[in-house]
Amino acid sequence: MIRVSDVHKIFNRGKANEVNALDGIDLEIKDGEFLVIVGSNGSGKTTLLNLVAGSFLPTSGTIEIDGNDVTKLPDYHRSEWIARVFQNPLSGTAPDLSILDNFRLAAIRTKRKGFSIGISDSFKKNVKAKIASLGMGLENKIEQPMGTLSGGQRQALTLLMSVMDTCKVLLLDEPTAALDPRSANIVMQTADKLIKEFGLTAILVTHNLKDAFVYGNRIIQMVGGKITKDVDEKNKSVLKQNDLFDWFA
């Protein structure tokens, strides 16, 4: 469970360009909940996601994950619970490293990166089988640099990498914003499948109202650093896509 309590985030405090990005956010996300956050640019949705991830710390308020107060914990410690997919496909993978190296690192996300060689034949086999499940034909390219793949392929692999190690929370920051419609579809379907299969708690930030309508079992809208709408599973199922468009009217 993720609990965000009275969180404020002010950028450039006291300067002319001061931004009140988050203005008292209270949010509780239950285990297994797939929360979709929509909102205009500058509404604070990505800031909220980054605060949960620990990319930066809140100005005030507390954040808990699984009952642990993580408010002051840096991002690389929160990886114990959290896996991330970034908006930019380049951010979630290391382009010059082979696909195999990328997967090895992902497979020890919550563990020590020790001085032993972790890539064994059985590990390779395991990675190949996992990648084959995507049906993209990438399983025979695991020695290739990640950078030789397309953005869509990289996002799909990033998703797969997030469940290589124990994962409780999956953060998706506009994962399809840089992709063509077909790749975007594959990535979102893969995400949905993995979230259900592994029972992940997930947060999706998106500008795509169709995705917001199709995926997830709870949706919130943010405006000016505040949560203005919060629709739970029961009500989201009867929500129509046009209702979402009306939110932005």
Partner 1 sequence: MDFYLSTLIQGLCLSAIALGIFISMKIFNIPDITTDGSYTLGGVVTAKLLVLHQPVFVVLPVVIAAGALAGTATGLIHTKLKINALLAGILVMTALYSVNLEIMGRSNIPLGNFPSIFNIVNFSSDPDRNTFWIVSIFAVVTTLIIGYLLKTDFGIAMRATGNSESMVRALGVDTDRMKIIGLALANALTALTGYLVTENQNYADISMGIGIVITGLGAVIIAETFINWFRTTSVWFSLILVLSGAIIFKFVIALILSLGIDPTLLKLVTAVFVLLIVSLPRLSFKSSS
Binding residues vs partner 1 (CB under 8 A): 53, 74-77, 79-80, 82-84, 86, 90-98, 101-102, 104-106, 108-119, 143-145
Look up tokens 């989201």; give the residue. 236
What are the helix and strand counts (H, E) for the chain?
A: 9, 10
Provide, rounded to whole angstroms, the least separation between the CB of residue 56 and partner 1: 12
Angle, helices 151-162/121-132, rounded to nearest 10 degrees: 120
Nearer CB in complex with partner 1: 178/223: 178
Look up tokens 């640019």; give the residue. 41
171: nearest Cα among 204, 194, 148? 204
Provide, rounded to whole angstroms, the least separation between the CB of residue 12 and partner 1: 17
Provide, rounded to whole angstroms, the least separation between the CB of residue 109 and partner 1: 5
Nearer CB in complex with partner 1: 97/223: 97
Nearer CB in complex with partner 1: 120/133: 120
- Reduced to 3 states, what is the DSSP secondary structure of residue 11? strand
79: nearest Cα among 54, 51, 104? 54
Nearer CB in complex with partner 1: 64/101: 101
Provide, rounded to whole angstroms, the least separation between the CB of residue 114 and partner 1: 5
Nearer CB in complex with partner 1: 5/110: 110
Provide, rounded to whole angstroms, the least separation between the CB of residue 233 and partner 1: 28
Nearer CB in complex with partner 1: 34/86: 86
Provide, rounded to whole angstroms, the least separation between the CB of residue 8 and partner 1: 24
**Residue 74, Cα to own-chain centre: how many angstroms?**
17
DSSP string, 125-184: HHHHHHHHTTTSS-TT-TTSBGGGS-HHHHHHHHHHHHTSS--SEEEEESTTTTS-HHHH
**Cα–Cα distance, 169 to 229 (Å, whole number):** 22
